[in-house]
Structures are given as structure tokens and as C-alpha cells.
Amino acid sequence: MDATVRLDSKQLNAGESSSVGRSDAFEDGVLLYYKFARIDDPEETKNWLFDLCSSLGLLGRIRVAPDGINITVGGKMAALEEHTRVVSSNPLFDGTDFKLASCLPPGDEKAAAECGFTSLSARTVKELVTLGLHPSVQPPSILKAGRHVSAQEFHRMLEDRARDQVPLKKTVVVDGRNLYETRIGRFSAVNGVEVLDPLIRQYSDLPRWIDENEEQLRNKQILMYCTGGVRCEMASAYIRSKGEEFQDVVQLSGGIQRYMEAFPDGGFFVGKNFVFDHRLAVPSSNPLVVGSCLQCDTPYDDYSARCRCSLCRMLVLVCTDCQVAAPQSGGAPYVCEVCIKSGKSFRARRLGESKDSLQFERHAFDCERVAVRRRKDDIHQQRKLRILCLHGFRQNASKLKGRLNALSKKLRQKVELVYIDAPHEVPSFSQYLQSQEQVCCHGSEGEECPSSRSFEAVGVSKSTAELTTRVSKKFAWLLSPSTSLCDSLVSSEQSKPNHKELSSESALFREGEETSLPQHQTQTSGWSKSWEYLQAVFAEQGPFDGVLGFSQGAAIAATLCLLSMSSEHSNVSVRFKFVILCSGFISPAADHFRTLSSLEDGAINFPSLHIFGGREGTDRQVSVNESEELASLFRAEKRVTVRHQSGHIIPTQPEFVREYLTFLDQFD
């Protein structure tokens, strides 16, 4: 349905009142629902929902995308019922399953804060559910999602398969959730039905698992389930997009929550249902514990301590006794099952130990573990913080140095800025046109060389283009696939593309050329070379205390934070203790985008300073929403955000410099 949610005066007044006369008015509860629909104005819709929730005193998360809405909020039952009444009166929400459950008020403030239930967060996002596909890959249509069945029908299907000795078609049950969820509760296997647990860290890993396990799904009846149903929508559509042999897909309507309401003893579901709110998990009446302690293997299923893998930061189960024992044994870190299976290990550095002897060096400057600080009266004798600076697209070290010149002077007592050029040279106008001329002039005999028309063809006079030969070279960390083609023109080791290929790429150099995506979102190639180069820089010019990235450089710096935490590349040289991201955005490179865009808020446990425009339109190169989206991925208590009204720059007015110094002081 094409609709945009609008808040009229009647709905606003309804949202400001609550049925306090009801007997359950002061009972706490949680409400979650989602709706796939076209949202013409996500920003307006987000604001309407935020105002409505605020007026009712609700806390939690609101996510609005062009393709739908996903909400999990908590508060008093009367307020949640009023919210449901107001929202359901809008035609957009026809057929929406509002899942409302009573519960105790938050008992653990730390856990509630980590789940986002101590505040109300409202954000516009690109997609309601992110499969983590490359931006160039069209996601499947939600209209292709699997058939919905009720909890009762889902249960009956499992019963029927268990009784059917010779089924016409084999049945598999696919869990669409993450490993930390399936650890504490899952559907049990029944006779004749195979239960498949993908054992994934995050939802964006699911498409890859589906791709790698097609044979287990081909020509099978596939029963899918997740917590509340929203993840199965896109996952089932993705499976069915694979062709005729993958069409028989059924999804549990309302997810595990509706199933456990229908079967309070758990039915075929054993253990607890992991939830993303202050409840943490919802049990059935069956006391069976299916989880176990990571350290001692004792039955255990309580995530309230929020223990995490020291390598990838995924939640892990550690029993109370092992939590108490950890400090006594030197604070041994935790390593999850996935990291262990992949051969990763962890050993903290000892004083005097060589870096080369480490299998993995822990984040050596974690703010929570800094135990020694230099005295303020030794400020002039202490070592300056060395910060590696990464420039933006089509820039170079010299350009960024000039941009940061004023800032470096004001921070000269505190930091040493180190500048490097990115490894990919971006061709200038003249390089492109000269290469085109060379290709043309080596064409068929008698063919007119169009070099005299090449400059005009891209809207640049020949004299202007020739002047660019005296301009310093420009570089990039990532390139668009088409720019990568042109980049090959700069290297004598690459073969020359033909004239038609060059002509098709001439739009790269035309000013004002319109594309469906902002330029920086099309730059998806070249990470492998940049990663090898950065490893060499850290090994040869390091160590560095921090990394500063500007624009595309900020996207790369954020990726380095994730790699430094998870040790995905098992590299111990790329280590630093903080990051400064200026006009940043999530890297569009396939692997980066798949991982970063699907992270929960605050998933990157890294001290970070974010500097960007304070309102939409301030920075014409990178939107405020993109910078905010990147910032939200970093842990809130370790994140500092500085907003300004000065465009695509790093401001150096005294009030901003004071913010920068306050952030840097913690690393003395």
C-alpha cells in the first residue's frame, strides 16, 4: 500500500492521553511490531512515531525505512495499548500483528541500557531488514516471501512430519537467528525433520550460509522461524529467489513469541526465546536449560552479565562462578565458539614480549583498562600521540595536511600527525584524455584520430586539461568499478582498454553528471590493495596511537576499528587505541557494507570522536544521516560527537578544539 503516516490533531490528542482507569494501567509491558509498506516520507513518519511514543512515555527503538517500519518499545501497558490504538487507526498498518506482552520493569539498568531501553531512539534507515547484499545487487522483493502459517499450523506440520514414515518431500527447519540467540533456545528435532542452525554471528551472514548450503535446501519443504517474524520475511524471499527448486518455503507468523503464547510449555521449542529488550530472554513453563557456560560447560542460559567474545564481540554465556574466577586468573578473555572453530585464539601481551610472538594482541589501549596516566606536570615531557591521517577520495597526503594545518598547530603540544597517500592513483583529466588519444591513434589504418575532439567531448578545453599535468597526483582508498578501469590507464603494466570502453567511461569526468547513487557510494573496489598497503604502513611506520579519517578515509578508518576488534585478518600490526572520523560514512565495499550495516547500535567497542555537519545540507558531500549512521555503530559511552555548521571541513574554532582536546586527554 502506498501511504505515508501523518499525525493529525485527533491522533495527537489520543496519544497524549492514557486509560489510567484500567486495572493494568501501571503494569509494565513490551510492544513489538513491523510492517513492510512503501513509506513516502520516512523522516516525517519517524518524527510522528517519535512524538507519539514520547507523549506516552515509551522507551525503545523506532526504525523507519522507505520499505517499512520496525518498532520495539516498552512502558506501561495502558500506554502501549493506547499506542497500538492510535497506530492501528492509520490505514498503513492494516493487518499488522501488534505483539504486546506484560513483564516486570527493568531490573538491570546496565543490560537495559545496552539493549536501548533507557531512552527512545528513532532513526531512518536504508532498509527495514538488511541482508548485507552488495549495493549493486538488487535485494529480493518482499512479495516473494514464504507463506505465513500460524503457530498452531506450524506445530501441526511438525507433528505430521513426525508421524509420516515416508513423507512425499523431506522437511527441514531453518533458524533465521544469530548463534547467541540459538544457544539458549531453539526448535528441537523431531523424527523425519532436520533442524538447521546456521551458527551465524549476525543476520547479514545468513545469505552467505544459504548460498553455501543450497543442496540441503533444494527440493525440500523449508520451515523458517525467528524471534518475531521480520527476519524471515527477507530470508525466505532470498531462498525463493533461487528458483523453482526452492519455492516451498513456510514461515512462522509472529515468530517464536506467538508460538510460545500458543504453547506455554514450549511445544517443540525448548529453552528460552532471546529478545532484544530489557527482558533479555523469555522462558516457557518448561524449566529445561539448553545453553551452557563457555568456560566450564555447566548448563547456563543467563545473558544478564553481557559477557562478550574478546575477538569478535559477540555475546557469550559465562556462568557466575567462571565470572568470579576470571579476575583471579588474571582476567582471562573469552573466545566464542565461532572464533575457536575458525582457529583464532587470544593471548594478552606481557611486558617486554615481542609483537611477533602474539597470536592476537588485545586492543592495548582499551579505555576501560588504562591503569596508568602520566601526571599533568609531566605534560611537556610525555610522548605525543601519533595519529595516522587518511585522506578522502581524489585527494592526497599534501592536500589533507593543508586542510589540517590550522588544527595541527592548535594540537601541536598533544599530537603528531602522520600523512600518507592512498595506494590507488586516480587519473586526472589529462591522463584520461591522453590515454584515449593513444588508443585512438593506434586504431585501424586510415581511421581519423579524434584526439582533437577528445577534450571537448568531456566538456573541458584542451588548454585547461593540459594544465592538469602540473597538478599533483590524486589518490583513493576505494574506487568505483568504472574508475578502476580508468585507473588502469595510469599504470604502464596494465593493458589498454579499447576505444569503446573509454568512451563509455567519459562520464566519470563530466561535471554535474547525475547518478542513482552519491559518488562515494559507488566506490566499492580496491580494498584488497589498500588493506595490504595499510598493513605495511603500520608495520614500517608504526606504532600509531590513533587513526584520523576524512570522508572516504573515515570509512576506511571505521573498517580498521572493526578489523582491529575482531582480528578477521589475524593481523597484529594494525592496532591503535582511538579513531577520529570526520564526515564519515559506512564503507560501500562489499564485505565492509555487509558487516557494518547490519551491526547493532554500539556494537563497535572503540573510543571514537565523530565530527560532521549538524543538519542536513550542511555537508554537501556526505549527508548527516550517513555520518550519524556510522557514529551509531560505536559504543555510546566511548563515543564523542561534535556537530558543526561549516560544511565538508574540520572546524578549528576554540569551542571545537576544546572538545578535541578533552577526547584526546584520556589517552595520555
Long-range own/partner contacts, residues 458-464 (CB < 8 A, 24 or more apart): 458/429, 458/432, 458/433, 458/506, 458/509, 458/510, 459/510, 459/511, 460/429, 460/433, 460/509, 464/429
Q: Cell triple for residue 391?
A: 585522506
- H/E element, 613: strand 608-613
Helix (H, G, I), strand (E, B) or coil at 228: coil
3-state helix, strand and coil shares in percent for the chain, rounded to the nearest 5: 35, 20, 45
Q: Where are the alpha helices (DSSP H) in 21-119?
A: 42-55, 77-88, 109-114
Cβ atoms of 131 and 72 within 8 Å: the answer is no
Cβ atoms of 193 and 157 within 8 Å: the answer is no
Residue with cell 509420516: 164
Active site residue 226: yes
Q: Cell triple for residue 27?
A: 503494569
Cβ atoms of 562 and 531 within 8 Å: the answer is no
Residues ≥6 apart with Cβ < 8 Å to 208: none
CA angle, corner 413, sides to 412 and 419, nearest 5?
A: 35
Long-range own/partner contacts, residues 297-305 (CB < 8 A, 24 or more apart): 301/183, 301/184, 301/185, 301/271, 301/272, 303/111, 303/180, 303/184, 303/274, 304/108, 304/111, 304/280
Ramachandran sector of residue 302 (left: φ over 0; alpha: ψ -120 to 50; beta: rest):
beta
Cβ atoms of 28 and 102 within 8 Å: the answer is yes
Greatest CA separation for the chain? 93
Residue with cell 576544546: 658
Residue with cell 506455554: 264
Q: Cell triple for residue 612?
A: 560532521
Helix (H, G, I), strand (E, B) or coil at 128: coil
As a whole number of angstroms, the distance between CA 239 and CA 560 comes to: 32
Neighbours of 6 (CB within 10 A): 12
Q: Determine which one of 53, 103, 115, 226 is catalytic.
A: 226
As a whole number of angstroms, the distance between CA 124 and CA 126 comes to: 7
Cβ atoms of 269 and 256 within 8 Å: the answer is yes
Cβ atoms of 34 and 128 within 8 Å: the answer is yes
Cβ atoms of 66 and 39 within 8 Å: the answer is yes
Ramachandran sector of residue 544 (left: φ over 0; alpha: ψ -120 to 50; beta: rest):
beta
Sheet hosting strand 193-196, strand order edge to edge: 147-149, 249-252, 221-225, 171-175, 193-196
| Residue 9 DSSP symbol | H
The amino acid sitting at 5 is V
Cβ atoms of 419 and 553 within 8 Å: the answer is no
Active site residues: 226
